[in-house]
Amino acid sequence: MSGYLSGVLAILGINIIFAYSIYITAATGQLNLGGAGFQAIGAYACALLSNELGLPIYLTLVFSAILGGAISFLIAFPVLRTKGVYMVLATFAIAEIVAGIILNTDYLGGPTGMIVNAYIETEVVLVVAVIIVILGFYIMSTRIGLAMRAVHDDEAVADLMGVDKRAIQVGAFTIGGAIAGLSGGLYALYFGFIEAQYFNANISIFVLLYVLIGGTQTAWGPLVGASFFTLIPEALRIGDDWRFFIFGVIIVIMMIFRPEGIVTRDALERVWRQLFSGKRNV
């Protein structure tokens, strides 16, 4: 693998994992605009455990996920009291708080960042990405996944059907935080250097857009969205300056033509019927 290709694939893997973290929450109808904050928590946890305690790589990754999940769980209760645009603001604020804490903590390197001693190859990122994609599809293929989508569509009716809306939302937010933490751990280990400035609002916005534009109705959404937005700019060799412009244009076009995202259930159903000229068991 060439260095360039290997680098693109690693970023792709990290972005896909990160996208699933936001997707799991979005599938229940909650928008998390604080992705970068949870990613930063995982990245710094991983770096510290590796640098200070010399823990093996897989353990540092496990702890990145656990810490991301634990912190998500704790803040899920106040955050999930808010809804819609207020929830977006609350999660955004949390990410800013995380960045603020890191910037002001000398132990974490403050604004100069932190070098990570351990490192991983692209293959590790890709293997973890495959596992997370499978996990995403698995969750959505169960009754729990069905209940999550029901909560997304109509909380009140889901409740009357016996769905524990609170448990579903807190659970999804927690798993989402864990996966975001994991993606942060992988980022730290792959790039070998982390700084608070990297985990900024842009990152949170992009990952949420991957998910919304990929589509939240099926587990394909984050995979397609993250791949699309990671690979297209690379394929077109678009520099960072133009990336924002292209993003903007694509978003406007998407909102006009596919407001529910690239992959929708009806679209899948249609493709399936054409491929097998039969009905699909979904």
Partner 1 sequence: MSDPILRLEDISKSFGGVRVLEKVSFDVERGSRHALIGPNGAGKTTLFNVISGIHDPEQGKVLLEGKDLKGIPSRKRIKKGLSRSFQNIRLMPHLSVLENVMLGQHSRFQFLDMVKPLNFSAKSTGKAEAIETLNSFGIDLYEGQTVSSLPYGIRKKIEVVRALMSEPQLLLLDEPAAGLNTAETNTLRDLLKEVSNRGITLLLVDHDMPFVNSLCEQVSVMNFGQLIYDGPISDLKKDEKVLEAYLGMDEKTERSNA
Contact residues toward partner 1 (CB under 8 A) are: 138, 141-144, 146-147, 149-150, 152-154, 156-165, 217, 265-266, 269, 272, 279-282
Report the residue number, 85 or 157, with the smaller CB distance to partner 1.
157
β-pairing verdict for 114-115 and 193-194: antiparallel
> Nearest distance from residue 206's CB to partner 1, in Å?
24
Report the residue number, 60 or 216, with the smaller CB distance to partner 1.
216
Report the residue number, 77 or 245, with the smaller CB distance to partner 1.
77
Report the residue number, 123 or 153, with the smaller CB distance to partner 1.
153
What is the C-alpha to C-alpha distance for residues 33 and 36, in angstroms, rounded to an integer?
8
Report the residue number, 53 or 271, with the smaller CB distance to partner 1.
271
Name residue 139's beta-bridge partners.
none
> Nearest distance from residue 146's CB to partner 1, in Å?
6
Q: Which residues contact 61 (CB under 8 A, 6 or more apart)?
A: 46, 128, 182, 185, 186, 189
Report the residue number, 34 or 225, with the smaller CB distance to partner 1.
225
> Nearest distance from residue 243's CB to partner 1, in Å?
31
Is residue 67 within 8 A of residue 181, CB to CB? The reply is yes
Is residue 34 within 8 A of residue 95, CB to CB? The reply is yes
What is the C-alpha to C-alpha distance for residues 123 and 41, in angstroms, rounded to an integer?
23
**What is the token pair recorded at 259?**
């407001």
What is the C-alpha to C-alpha distance for residues 71 and 90, in angstroms, rounded to an integer?
14
Q: How far apart are the first and last CA of the chain?
A: 38
> Nearest distance from residue 199's CB to partner 1, in Å?
32
> Nearest distance from residue 267's CB to partner 1, in Å?
11
Residue 103 vs residues 48, 106, 117, 119, 282: alpha-carbon distances, Å: 15, 8, 20, 23, 48
Name residue 193's beta-bridge partners.
115
> Nearest distance from residue 281's CB to partner 1, in Å?
7
